[in-house]
Structure 1
């Protein structure tokens, strides 16, 4: 018996090492394939969002293929309507922005830069002289050549990125349809791979993760749209010409705590300064009021009522997850960051429960209390319940 226990410990340790190695290999493969995985991940999310409605239609008596076609058509119609409404509005805003560029340049050269020169005591206007710029480039031609190579390389990568974006955009609806059609079959195949002695625990964690992800994805999407509408309508009311564009940008990136509001305030203040050709206290005060009201509504009305407290993610954890995902896997990492963080939060809560019920946490000084006996004398002392022995 004494020799069996160490062998079991060694075997368990080797199994842990094997699982860790497989996990690292999986992460490495995802990192390598990140540039082509984006449409598949986006399609997987869309299929996951649409599957409950497909199941309801199936329960109402329709076939799986009919239900999938109806839900897929509904998705296409909603996206098309959104584009038909938003694209003309954005086009108008972009036209306004392009038309305001000469006024922006004039204000920058004749108003902002002279004011900064006067306050800070340096001369910046001479650097706006084209001949001076040409002379500076000639004197630093080697560095300029390296910078030019970097810029052209970036433009080449950007052109390839545009082509990739178009391909992904065309590929996403096709993959979404197949994921929706075969969703239940894929879930069954994944469930069949789970070891039978862990099926109960995995099912419980999967159900809880699904609930958390559903609350986050659906709720956060509604909050983003609501904030975009609040910011855009508010800045339109105060008379900011680019208010719609700025409000939509601030709303779409509001899933990162405080980033949407901060970005919106900076862009709105710059737009207000350019539009007024200086400091307009009334316009700037209007911007402050709009974003203050938006943040108050998000904090005390929208997020508590729509998202709720099921996510349990601290704002710092959200910011770190998005930055880490973007750093490791690019856009795919940013797309997966918050869902992965929500699931990881569920797993961490489960690990905490296991730890608190383990001997490592309870220690050897735990009081053994038979089942059915009253409370222990000291509430701070860990308790291990002992079932009564059968006679």
Structure 2
């Protein structure tokens, strides 16, 4: 009877949580963003506390560092990325024309393909008109939110709430964790605490470790490609760094894009391809010997395919809020499924097949030597 009432209690809590998430979804974005930033910054705050700083002073230092990084990103990196992206779109028609001039004779001679079926002029016109209609990232965003005063106010309110929520969550993070632990029923507290610790290890390995590796690789790629004179160094370096959470994908994507860019920019200097390979080779050595051992460690965290699926599924189901929730939910589910797997392997259900096999053994194998027939 007690188990039955407990089951209905947790079922009601789960249903209520789902309903509240659905109803309050429009206002949850700043709280989720603030919680994510607080989660990322809490280990730094704990480290500063170990150096005899107060909790409030440690939170202030970490909070100002996060705000400074975000301000620098939006003031400097976003305009540069927008400029390079616009220049890339402007040159795509030239790249298409060069590619057709190089490939058309080969396709026509080897496969009998008429170059006119490629409709290069039409593709160039579509790309050019699309970019002119949409404009740059910043201008397009400003035009989008300026259609309605309420939309503008909503965006401003959400952006203003994120740093406030982040600060207070950072300051009270340890208290919140202890409070939630104290609310748990004592019968399940050890199991929930163990699952929470494992989830934190998995999620932290990816968010804190792998994201740091991705950022470091983006910087290394961008600096290296800039030194060899590549025109879109920052854009290519950022793309290669962002997709590097999948093993070797950042290397493949980066070398491919940078190699093509070098061929277009310096068609008569094939030796420049060697420097592209050198940049990515040095970056891979640094990642394997320094970045991954120091920042990620032995615990890799979520499988790359699981990360891709979680982000895409979260965005498809719940939009931007789903993207924010995707990795934390995937990390918790991975730990729970691992626990379910271990429990299943130790259960009678998993042992049924073995017991049935034992029951079906031949009689001759189960009798003693003295009872065996000649």
Aligned residues: 330
Change (3 A) 1:58 1:29: same
Change (3 A) 1:285 1:28: farther
The corresponding residue for 2:60 is 69
Q: Which has the higher helix share?
A: 2
Show CA shifts across 1:16-75 (max 9, x none): 577457546644653565554333222112212333444455566665444433432343
Tell me which of 14, 36, 49 is aligned to 2:40: 49
Alignment of 1:122-271 (within 5 A): 122-123=115-116, 124=119, 127=122, 159-160=144-145, 163=152, 167-271=157-261
In 2, are the aligned partners of 1:232 and 1:243 still within 8 Å (CA)?
yes
Q: Distance in 2 between matches of 1:31 and 1:262?
A: 40
Show CA shifts across 1:226-256 (max 9, x none): 2112211222233211112210232134335
Tell me which of 101, 104, 112 is aligned to 2:99: 112
Q: Distance in 1 between matches of 2:14 and 2:143?
A: 32
In 1, are the aligned partners of 2:201 and 2:301 still within 8 Å (CA)?
no
SS of 2:188's partner is helix
In 2, are the aligned partners of 1:322 and 1:334 still within 8 Å (CA)?
yes
The corresponding residue for 2:279 is 290
Q: Distance in 1 between matches of 2:123 and 2:191?
A: 67
Q: Distance in 1 between matches of 2:204 and 2:241?
A: 20
Mean Cα displacement is larger for which, 169-178 or 297-306? 297-306
Question: 1:93 Cα shift?
Answer: 6.2
In 2, are the aligned partners of 1:220 and 1:255 still within 8 Å (CA)?
yes
Tell me which of 260, 265, 279 is aligned to 1:275: 265
The corresponding residue for 1:361 is 350
Q: Distance in 2 between matches of 1:52 and 1:18?
A: 34
Q: Distance in 2 between matches of 1:69 and 1:102?
A: 44
Show CA shifts across 1:206-229 (max 9, x none): 223223333332211320122112
In 1, are the aligned partners of 2:245 and 2:304 still within 8 Å (CA)?
no
Change (3 A) 1:174 1:312: closer
Q: Distance in 2 between matches of 1:129 and 1:209?
A: 48
Alpha-carbon RMSD across the aligned residues, in angstroms, is 4.1
TM-score after normalising by structure 1 = 0.67
The corresponding residue for 1:335 is 324
Q: Distance in 2 between matches of 1:129 and 1:306?
A: 44
Residues 1:349 and 2:338 aligned together:
yes
The corresponding residue for 1:303 is 292
Change (3 A) 1:249 1:27: farther
The corresponding residue for 2:362 is none
TM-score after normalising by structure 2 = 0.70
Alignment of 1:90-105 (within 5 A): 91=79, 95=83, 98=86, 104-105=92-93
Q: Distance in 1 between matches of 2:22 and 2:263?
A: 43
In 1, are the aligned partners of 2:315 and 2:323 still within 8 Å (CA)?
yes
Change (3 A) 1:196 1:13: closer
SS of 1:182's partner is helix
Q: Distance in 2 between matches of 1:295 and 1:318?
A: 21
The corresponding residue for 2:372 is none
